[in-house]
Chains A and B, each alone.
Chain A
Amino acid sequence: MREYDIVVIGGGLAGLMAAAAATKRGKKVTLLSLGSGTLTIGGGIVDVMGYLEGGIPAATPNAGLLQVGAEHPYKKIGRPAIEESIRFFKEICEQEGYSYIGNLDKTQWIPTAAGTLKPTCLVPRTMDTTELKKADKVTVLGFDALKDFYPSLIAKNFKKIPAFAQKEYEVVMIDPKLSEGRDVTALDVARWLDTEEGLASCIEKMRNVIDSGSVVIIPPILGTRPNYAVKEKLEKALGCHFVETASVPPSITGLRLRTMLVRYLKNNGVRIVEQAIVAKSIVEDGKCVAVITEGVDRERTYYAKSFILANGGFYGGGLLAEPGKVIEPIFNLPVEAPTDHELWANYSLFSSEAQPFAKLGLDVDEKMRPLDANGKVLLNNVFVAGRNLRGYDFSFEKSGNGVAIASGYQAAMSV
């Protein structure tokens, strides 16, 4: 019977990072994935800790880490491991030619396509705001027919942000001539720039509307591949600095990150099984022996010494909500939740409090092993990572990818 050292369940950022850390340790890893995770929806940047309770911005990610409650995954993981995980993530990016900038001691406020700023920790170099902050004059460049990126809205809203109010804004448009066929998204423009002809044509069009030396805010369009070739060629040809905004799905920066991590895993011998619907487990004497997938044809059994459960929360299917209770379907691990499910939601719109349902999830020890209500370890060789963890609302506090990286790493290091 084929047996692996580690089976990772889930192909989102937590699962990918867990597999990366495990393979780095020389482990033989199988990753079971269903769908391509949420990285392509919104995840090209790494938020670690943006807002504290009450909606107060954390001074730095590091400062924010000190202020989280006892239930928070960061508390379980601890600062040394969080720091190591961030270092490890940046190391992979560097090695793969798609380096990320930033560190835990600084919040990076990055522009969004709505003309607001959002706090984050690590960003690809295409989102570096160093030059943007220094500039007196900023150009906002849009593309004809591109939906979801309106340069004049961005310029107007930036005028309302104190740190950006004194700058002068110029709005310019170019026509990528992509209007034939379907609606244009940033993905279409990025793919246009992936091609040599597209890039040359874009440079030509940009030359007519941007002056050399400009700082230019653009949608995330600097190619779909995890490298900086498009950025560097554009900047060299035009003598400008480009800054990509955070934007709506599909996320180009997330697509690049996922492509890079999957490539890293495959190059390091991780076996990836797509379309694997993990439905149940075989547990003997407090240890998981195997997990079982339910294919459309039959069940398949995957044996391993250890298992990392990173199959997401309510959205990814790692947790299932039923009236009055929450179910973890693979191991049937306990999830503490109010039986009155009216209490799961915070009904006030734009509230300064987190959503209670977002904080529902699995309780773990410092090694990420699942615990029962009395704090006893339930399964010795199962480690939990990512959105199924209890005690954090990633959307409210801006911590999603940070928790994914730190918990995925910690799980793999605890095996």
Chain B
Amino acid sequence: MKKHHNNPDSCTACTVCIANCPVTAATRKFRGPKMVGPTLERMRLSQDDIEPSLEYCSNCKNCDMSCPSGVPISTLNMLARAKYFKNRKRSLRDWILSHGEKMAKLSAATPGMANFGMKMSRGILKKIGISDKAPLPAYASKSFSKLFKNLKQTSYPDKVVFYPGCFINYNDPQVGMDFVAVMQANKLEVIVEEGFVCCGSPLVVNGFLDEAEENAKQNVQILKKWTDKGYPIITCCTSCGLMLKQEYQELFHIEGVAEYAKHLYDADEFLLDLHDQGRLNTNFGTLNEKYMYHAPCHLRAQGMGLPGVELLALIPGLDVQDADAGCCGISGNYGFKDDKYDISMEIGSGLFKTIKESGRDTVVSECGTCRLQIGHGANVKTLHPLTLVRKSYEAYHK
């Protein structure tokens, strides 16, 4: 099967994507992936065709995953969205949601004030189209890059490069710190490059494709530089991972992506690979705890199964049950939008129900925004798998 060919004619109109699209299931306003993606793409190739329901695609990738003919349906939608916005004015709402990194940098001086301000201004945000019910993430008091700079690592000859991504950097830095601790426990030194910028995922979904491409160019150059030196690159965020390795190839024509993608790993998969090579530190302390697990769509789309589940299975005593209840609905910043909030909660309702019925009070998932949505929708605590791996290593030494 040829990869990254965006030819809509490979679509046989079999309708499997419609049956698997969570947005289609949640709202009748969306005409569905087949129609909005490949069917209309044939029209768009010859003329400016506007499909209003295109805005409903959340880029969750379930259509791509179900397609028997390898059509990157969601990417066709994102390209069409970019084309649509080429000569149109963007809303302030979409600009804010797409530029989380810029917003975070502005707030970085005084995150406490920014959080306070954000709480006070939910009414204002609502006015510009951001739902006042949505689980907007708070800024951490110290960003990951600050915490990391103050951390004294043990130096080892084997090194890995960490791509933290905006969410870990500004909102959930503890995941990054847990990652570093787990690498250190495996006699690996972590390098964090200051030059990395937002992967572009939030930009792409709102049609800011040119800006996303600028970001991509910068990231590609740095990623390539490190992999050329023989260092693996690791992400803990599945949407960043998918963007850097796959969507860059589908959306842009930048040299070098295919080369570094060979050495770009999801953290869980990287540890499992170490295990396969007999190099994983398996001094796991027993954790007699029970968790639910949620597989992010952007992990499932990467064709490597569920490495988090396999990794956590190595920890003695740990009982992790895969919720297996589909998309959580958030899709990056989709569920933050006032007009998409209800759809997003409807999409996640099956997952929330499964979690609540399990009686387990904490859900493990790799994706930061999935964790926000699950915490909000199912009223539970959430964790990244690596937090448990670190905890298990620490339990061993107690």
Contacts and interface: CB of A to CB of B under 8 A. Distances in A.
A316 interface: yes
Contact of B303 (A178, A183, A188, A277): A277
A300 B304 CA distance: 8
Interface stretch (B61-69, B105-113, B161-169): B61-69
Nearest to A42: B14
Given A41-B15, A295-B302, A296-B249, A275 B30 contact: no
A335 B364 CA distance: 47
Interface string B284-317: 0000000000000000111111100010000000
Interface stretch (B21-29, B80-88, B199-207, B390-398): B21-29
Contact of A36 (B20, B29, B276, B303): B20
B19 A297 contact: no
A143 to B, nearest CB: 14
Interface string B72-84: 0000000000000
Nearest to A258: B19
A37 interface: yes
A1 B66 contact: no
Interface string A286-312: 000000011111101000000000001
Interface string B16-59: 10111000010111111001000000000000000001000000
A295 B68 contact: no
A276 B76 CA distance: 21
A297 B302 contact: yes
B22 to A, nearest CB: 12
Given A182-B32, A273-B304, A274-B300, A297 B246 contact: yes
Given A266-B322, A275-B302, A296-B249, A37 B68 contact: yes
A375 interface: no
Interface residues of A, number: 43
Interface residues of B, number: 45
A27 interface: no
Interface in B85-112: none
A323 interface: no
A28 to B, nearest CB: 13
A41 B305 CA distance: 24
A272 interface: yes
Nearest to A277: B1
Contact of B18 (A250, A263, A279): A250
A181 interface: yes
B249 A35 contact: no
B262 interface: yes
B4 interface: yes
A35 B69 contact: yes
A298 B15 contact: no
Nearest to A37: B68
B261 A296 contact: yes
Nearest to B301: A275
Interface of B: 1, 3-4, 12, 14-16, 18-20, 25, 27-32, 35, 53, 64-70, 245-246, 249, 261-264, 272, 276, 300-306, 310, 322, 324
29 contacts: A2-B272, A34-B1, A34-B70, A35-B66, A35-B67, A36-B65, A38-B16, A40-B16, A40-B66, A180-B29, A181-B30, A182-B29, A182-B32, A182-B53, A250-B16, A255-B19, A263-B324, A266-B324, A271-B305, A273-B303, A275-B64, A275-B65, A296-B245, A297-B245, A297-B246, A297-B262, A312-B68, A317-B1, A317-B68
Given A182-B28, A274-B65, A315-B68, 14 more contacts: A36-B20, A38-B14, A178-B28, A182-B30, A182-B53, A187-B18, A276-B305, A277-B303, A293-B303, A296-B249, A297-B261, A298-B261, A298-B262, A316-B68
